[in-house]
Structure 1
Amino acid sequence: MNISISVKQLGKKHPLLQEKSIALAIENPVITTQQLIESIVDHQVQLFHASSFEFEDEDKIHLPKENYLPILTDTGKAGFGAIYNHNKVNLPKAQETAIQAFEDGLYAVFYGDDQLETLTEQIDLSQNKAITFIRLTFLAGSYW
């Protein structure tokens, strides 16, 4: 099933991830928030494992290619897409971490205009609403 996701952060003008369509391995369109988060984490872990990070492909000098320089100057951000961590991701641990972060309020999930507040909340993916993850930023400090 194809869903559209975007990732935003409070205080930022542009989203971290703009409306990306991903295919999830879900048969039933009515799922819980927990199943949605676990499915998206599973999809992202599969993408990470499928990406090439062979040791002979490792970039030793970390310089961008010539055709990549115009993109860097247009966006103003250097992101080379290289993976420097060669460890495999433990899927159950990654799913557990994502669920714990949701429970702790580190990010909010919206399905269309509706906020998903609990892990047991049912959503119907056949409505084809956009799913938005908002990374919440907490201020640190104290009052004197």
Structure 2
Amino acid sequence: MEIKVTVKQLGKKYPVLSEQKLDILYNDPQISLKNLLKLIVQQQVEAFNAQSFEMEDKDYLKNPSENYLNILTDTGKAGFGSIYNEKKADLQKAQDNAVLAFEDGMFAVFYNDEQLENLSGMIDLSLHHTFTFIRLTFLAGSYW
């Protein structure tokens, strides 16, 4: 089944990633949020593990072009497309981490502007609304 996903970060005017379509291995129109998170993580882990780990794919120059540098500074993350850790991602660990991160309030999930707060709550995928994932950032500071 194909779903639409947007990832945003609070405090940013534009999404970090634009709307993407993901194919998940699920055909029933009703799904729990926990199961949906696991299926999205499964799709992302499979895509990551399918990437090439050839030594010639690495960027030894680490020198971005001028127009690419602006994109890197806007997103706050410098990545040059190279994979430095050649280990494959562990699907079970990744799924457990995603569920735990949701329970700990590290990110929020919205479906058609409605926040999903319960992992066991059912979602109607037949409506074909966009899922929005918002990464939450904790503020650090003191009264001193």
| Structure 1 counterpart of 2:27 | 27
Going from structure 1 to structure 2, the CA distance change for 1:93 and 1:117 (only over 3 Å counts) comes to: same
Aligned positions, number: 140
How many angstroms apart in 2 are the aligned matches of 1:30 and 1:5? 17
How many angstroms apart in 2 are the aligned matches of 1:50 and 1:25? 17
Detail structure 1 runs of 4+ shifted over 4 Å in the superposition: none
Pair 1:72-2:68 in alignment? yes
| Structure 2 counterpart of 1:142 | 142
Pair 1:39-2:35 in alignment? no
| Structure 1 counterpart of 2:4 | 4
**CA RMSD for the aligned pairs?**
1.7
Counting aligned pairs with the same residue, the percent is: 51
CA-CA distance at 1:7 after TM superposition: 0.4
CA-CA distance at 1:29 after TM superposition: 1.7
| Superposed counterparts of 1:1-144, under 5 Å | 1-64=1-64, 69=65, 71-72=67-68, 75=71, 77=73, 79-144=79-144
CA-CA distance at 1:72 after TM superposition: 1.4
Amino acid in structure 1 at the alignment position of 2:119: L
Going from structure 1 to structure 2, the CA distance change for 1:32 and 1:16 (only over 3 Å counts) comes to: same
CA-CA distance at 1:92 after TM superposition: 0.4
Unmatched tracts of structure 1, length 5 or more: none
Amino acid in structure 1 at the alignment position of 2:103: E
How many angstroms apart in 2 are the aligned matches of 1:44 and 1:115? 22
Q: Is the Cα contact below 8 Å between 2:72 and 2:79 reproduced in 1?
A: no
Unmatched tracts of structure 2, length 5 or more: none
Amino acid in structure 2 at the alignment position of 1:55: M
Q: Is the Cα contact below 8 Å between 2:3 and 2:22 reproduced in 1?
A: yes
